[in-house]
Structure 1
Amino acid sequence: MQVPLTAEDRTILALEDAQLVGHTATVVHLPGGAPDLPQLRDAVARRLAAAPRLTWRLSGTSDEPTWRSDEVDVAAHVRAVDGVGPVDEAGVRAELARIFGEHLDRSRPLWRMDVLGPLTGGGALLVWRVHHALADGGTVMRLAEDVLWDPAPAAAGAGGRRSATAASGTSGAEHGRSSLSGVLTGELLPGLRRSPFHARVGRERDVALAVAPVAGLREAARRLAGATLNDAVLAVVAGALRRWLEHRHGPLHGLTVKVPVTLHHDGDDVGNRDSYFRVDLPVDEPDPVARLLAVRRETAERKARHDAQKLDELMDRMARLSPRLAGWSQRLQRSGRSFALNVSNVRGPERAVTVLGAPVGAVSPLAEVAQHHALRVAVLSAADRLGFGLVADPSVVEGLDVLAAAVEQATAELLHADRNGSADSSAG
């Protein structure tokens, strides 16, 4: 069986080069210990039939690439990290950066699982890389239900599994074919400011992780600003960037970020289906509630205008009318002046999940940087934990550990503001 790559898949595939990898990674924290490797391989092999996409490898020509179903050597795809003793926090970051920076073998299906452990604090990490041309974040989470997470208990019924989507996503069917003119200035044309992350990206990578509570942030966002969890995530990132900028760069009045929006529909079988809108983060605002309110105003405006859906419609029209014009617009959208960094937020399993009976702690995503965008922030929810994954070129972004710590500090500021606000309301 052969499946042609979609235009979106081909665009993603073409971004990979000697400096940049094309995959994302899902870092699964297993506090109970490293899974037994033969059992993990056996479990994945038995369940691959439910995830045929993971049997696809690249075929065809460079001009007409296709996916072709192939036999999977599970032992080559599911591996233990050899020669590593008990790994401390610094060692974990170094190993994650090394693993993430390795290109996937294009002669095989484009995914791999590496088990890293034991960790000095106990437990292990499972690092699952999947090429972005094969699957976006939402599709990876569906694949995790198929081959990685233990099946949900029967009592969970239909609620045990659901399709994962980007938290900021809305359906493209919500709007008609209204005017697209606002998309040109709102999402497509670049600005004039250079960001501190606008630089040529080299081969070296730094990685850092942070964790935040889902329920606490969701409730704080709702009570403080009538905002969503995704708004809270962007406000936390704004607060963290503000702290990092104060220490490493100097103050900025604003920073434009790209926010991916899923256009997946329940039951579709495409690997990539998304768009985006841009948001100006208030990185000069010291008050966490004011940051949240500012973010909510920005996202509400873009959702009300259906910017992401209109941009997708515009790009589709360009591709049909003039592939050359579509290529020019894609290059324009990737400009370092179009946005400073990409901040994605994908919903994972709402239930607590296990791998071969081992409870899963936080699940942290990693996504590659891009030329002229030397920092990338990815967020993924699993049960009641939000995992933040930061990837950067360390020659451009120094102190990534400072930024990761600032994510947790900015989270604590919002939760503290919510507790104080609730106490004030009770007292009144």
Structure 2
Amino acid sequence: MVNRLSPRDAMFYFLDETGATTHLGVLLIIDPHAAAADEEQPSDSDTPTTPATLDYPRLVALVENRLQLAPNYRKVVREVTLGLARPVWVDDPDFDINFHIRRSGLPRPGDIGQLQDLIARVMSRPLDRTRPLWEMYLIEGLPDGKLAILTKTHRCLVDGAGALEISEVICDESPEQPVLDEDLWMPGSPPGAASLAFGALAEAMSRPGDLIESVLRGNSIVSELRSGMEGAVRRFGDVVQQITDSAPASPLNNATTSTRIFAVATVPRRGCAKIAERYDCTLNDVELAIVSGVLRRWMLSVHEYVQADDTVRVVLPLSARDPAVERRIDAEGRWVSVGKPSFVTDLPVGEDNPTVRLAQVAGLANRYAQSSRRLSMGPRPWFPELGVVPFPELSSRTFRNLNRRNYNVPIAMGTLPVAPRFIAGNPVTELYAIPTLMAQRALAISVVDYRDELQFAFIADRGVLPDLPAMTDYVLESFEELSVIK
């Protein structure tokens, strides 16, 4: 029985192109000295602990032990001849974990700017499609003896229900590191091209029922095709409906190159919660107001002035307005947020007064979260009912063109705070999600609520936003102007 990619996974696999690849990432900052200090404190736990050290061999051993929780991380994607079926996951017969886990170091002085430059270079490179579609970097040379772990994972590995990103696999909820049973993995024999093609044909021909009876009962390939076409027409209608209410023209929708730029910033959660309480809104409203202030400052740095009615259209998870949506999907906060219900709203970047801007952000988000016209279908395949993928490049290009003007900027944010995490007993002090930067998008933003900090990450097309590092200052300025009591 072949392990075939789901329709959505296959769509993300085929959406890769020279200018934009559909991978995402996670940046974890680790402080071994904090772990050493904790070890000096007496523990009431009867669970034996191991020395909290982290180096390349230990990281490799940890990942090797945990890969049994994410079996597709040892598989490669094999396409089927002539697109007779969706691609399949097959064991990588030459799997080499040392290819996927790499060691890197920052030159002195090892500041945050150098770390952001390194991450930008790593995220600019496409993943090797002849190998499992992920990478991990242990980065040394940070100030105060800290370490960083950067992961890069293709969307097709994490989009399905229950699929974990590799950073989630290696993180623990306590310093006590659980060790799984030894995983004696041996790759299976990969099927040949002819075998995959004949298997696809046999799979299509083995549908239950006699051909005439299937036609009469509506279970035949013809009926399936008709159902697929009807579904595609409905999806096309949804896209057209969104395009007729398209996002404002913006350089943020310029064609994407392959070169990335990356920046991070943090603000205190407690301060944002006080702002939310003062103005009777939610924490997510404050996060969006901060982003609005950031984008307003960026627009003023590009243009001499901003019109009072200027807006930037963003797409964000529906759980940002309805926390119950998040709790129905995930019992606890996660930092990799993909494939969730979303909606489109406008950020009033033309408004000069920050408190008025916050009120408008909250009002627009509340209104549009309840509007079927503003619900985002997100990236979806045109024919999920069919197993055949006859023209993947053409359909992917069509999807990108139709999806171009739905919104300007995607924002990934959760409703639930992420509990403290540890890697090999070492506390993760900072955690940043690096969102996917798809074609026709020049900027993507994420916000993670972690350790009493709201941690913002920005990834952008270097050709469109070469001044992205300035957004670090813009985040702090936007937070500070909201903190001032009017």
Bin for the TM-score computed over the shorter chain: 0.7 to 0.9
Q: Distance in 2 between matches of 1:411 and 1:85?
A: 31
Match of 2:481 in 1: 413
| Gap change, CA 1:299 and 1:105, over 3 Å in 2 | same
**Which amino acid counterpart does residue 5 of structure 2 have in structure 1?**
L
Alignment partner, residue 292 of structure 2: 238
The residue type equivalent to 1:65 in the other structure is P
1:152 is matched with 174
Match of 2:258 among 191, 197, 203: 203
Structure 1 gaps, min length 5: 155-178, 422-428
For the Cα contact (< 8 Å) 1:8–1:272, is it kept in 2? no
SS of the equivalent of 1:305 reads coil
- The correspondence for 2:340, drawn from 257, 260, 274, is 274
What residue number does 2:122 align with?
Answer: 99
Q: Decide whether aligned partners of structure 1 residues 139 and 78 sit closer, same or farther in structure 2, where only a CA change above 3 A counts.
A: farther
Number of matched pairs: 387
- Give the letter aligned to residue 123 of structure 2: F
Asked whether 1:284 is paired with 2:350, we answer yes
After the TM superposition, which residues 180-259 of structure 1 pair with which residues of structure 2 at under 5 Å, given as runs?
A: 187-191=242-246, 193-227=248-282, 229-250=283-304, 251-252=306-307, 253-259=310-316
Q: Is the 8 A contact 1:187 1:311 kept in 2?
A: no
Return the match for 1:135 from 145, 158, 162.
158
**Unpaired segments of 5 or more residues in structure 2?**
34-52, 177-233, 320-324, 332-336
SS of residue matched to 2:429: coil
C-alpha distance in 2 between matches for 1:232 and 1:137: 30
Q: Does 1:22 align with 2:88?
A: no
The alpha carbon displacement at 1:294 in A equals 1.2
The answer to whether the 8 A contact 1:348-1:382 is kept is no
Q: How many Å separate the matches in 1 of 2:77 and 2:363?
A: 43
Q: Distance in 1 between matches of 2:160 and 2:148?
A: 19
Decide whether aligned partners of structure 1 residues 85 and 110 sit closer, same or farther in structure 2, where only a CA change above 3 A counts: farther
Quote the Cα distance in structure 2 between the aligned partners of 1:344 and 1:209.
14
Match of 1:73 in 2: 96
| Matched residue, 2:461 | 393
TM-score relative to the length of structure 1:
0.78
Whether the 8 Å contact between 2:106 and 2:114 is mirrored in structure 1 is: no
Q: 1:47 to 1:240 in 2, by over 3 A?
A: same
* Change in CA separation of 1:328 and 1:56 when aligned onto 2, cut-off 3 Å: closer
Contact 2:285 / 2:362 at 8 angstroms: preserved in 1? yes
Structure 1's 149 and 320: CA in aligned 2 closer, same or farther, altered over 3 A?
Answer: closer
Which residue of the partner structure matches residue 42 of structure 1?
61
Counterpart in 1 of 2:76? 57
The letter of the residue matching 1:334 is: N
Residues 380 and 95 from structure 1, CA distance in 2 versus in 1: closer, same or farther, beyond 3 angstroms?
same
Alpha carbons of structure 1 residues 98 and 137: separation in structure 2 relative to 1, 3 Å: farther
Cα deviation per residue 1:19-62 (whole Å; 9 max; x = unaligned)? 22221110111233793111111111112222224333212427
Moved more, 340-349 or 278-287: 340-349
Please give the alpha-carbon distance, in whole angstroms, between the structure 2 residues aligned to 1:397 and 1:274.
28
Distance 1:80 1:347 in 2: 34
**1:295 corresponding residue in structure 2:** 361
Kept in 2, the 8 Å contact 1:187–1:277? The answer is: no
Over 3 Å counting, the alpha-carbon distance change for 1:107 and 1:192 in structure 2 is closer
Q: Distance in 1 between matches of 2:106 and 2:349?
A: 42
C-alpha distance in structure 2 between counterparts of 1:136 and 1:248, whole Å: 35
Whether the 8 Å CA contact 1:205–1:392 is kept in 2: the answer is: yes
Quickly say closer, same or farther: Cα 1:235–1:95, change in 2 above 3 A. same
Q: 1:316 to 1:199 in 2, by over 3 A?
A: closer
**Which one is further off, 112-121 or 184-193?**
184-193
Give the letter for the 1:259 counterpart: L
RMSD of aligned alpha carbons: 3.7
Question: In 2 relative to 1, CA 221–53 (structure 1 residues): closer, same or farther, beyond 3 Å?
Answer: farther
Q: CA deviation at 1:245?
A: 1.2
Amino acid of the residue matched to residue 30 of structure 2?
Answer: L
Q: Could you give the per-residue CA deviations for residues 336-387 of structure 1, whole angstroms, max 9, x where no partner exists?
A: x332221111468632212122221221122243333212212223232222
1:55-92 CA deviation, whole Å, 9 max, x = no partner? 33212427321223447532222211168555223321
Matches of 2:311 and 2:56, distance apart in 1: 47
Cα distance change of structure 1 residues 354 and 281 upon mapping to structure 2, 3 Å threshold: same
Rounded Cα–Cα distance in structure 1 between residues aligned with 2:375 and 2:398: 16
Equivalent pairs: percent with the same residue? Answer: 25
Residue 164 of structure 1 corresponds to which residue in structure 2? none
Query: Which residue matches 2:190?
Result: none
Aligned equivalents of 1:192, 1:37: Cα separation in 2: 46
- Rounded to whole Å, the distance in 2 between the matches of 1:410 and 1:248 is 18
Which shifted more, 52-61 or 278-287? 52-61
Question: Is the CA contact 2:276–2:285 (under 8 Å) kept in the aligned structure 1?
Answer: yes
Quote the Cα distance in structure 1 between the aligned partners of 2:134 and 2:409: 25
What secondary structure, in the 3-state scheme, does the structure 2 residue paired with 1:343 have?
strand
Structure 1 CA distance, aligned partners of 2:383 and 2:74?
A: 33
Name the structure, 1 or 2, with higher relative contact order (CA <8 Å, separation 6+): 2
Task: Note if contact 1:183-1:310 (Cα within 8 Å) is conserved in structure 2.
Answer: no
Q: Deviation string for 1:144-200 (max 9, x for gaps)?
A: 44x32134379xxxxxxxxxxxxxxxxxxxxxxxx9999668745353731132322
2-structure distance, mates of 1:196, 1:362: 31
Q: Which has the larger radius of gyration?
A: 2
Residue 239 to residue 114, structure 1, CA distance change in 2 (3 Å)? same
Q: Match of 2:403? A: 334
Separation of aligned partners in 2, 1:338 and 1:89: 34
- The one-letter code of the counterpart of 1:352 is P
1:357 maps onto 2:425 in alignment: yes
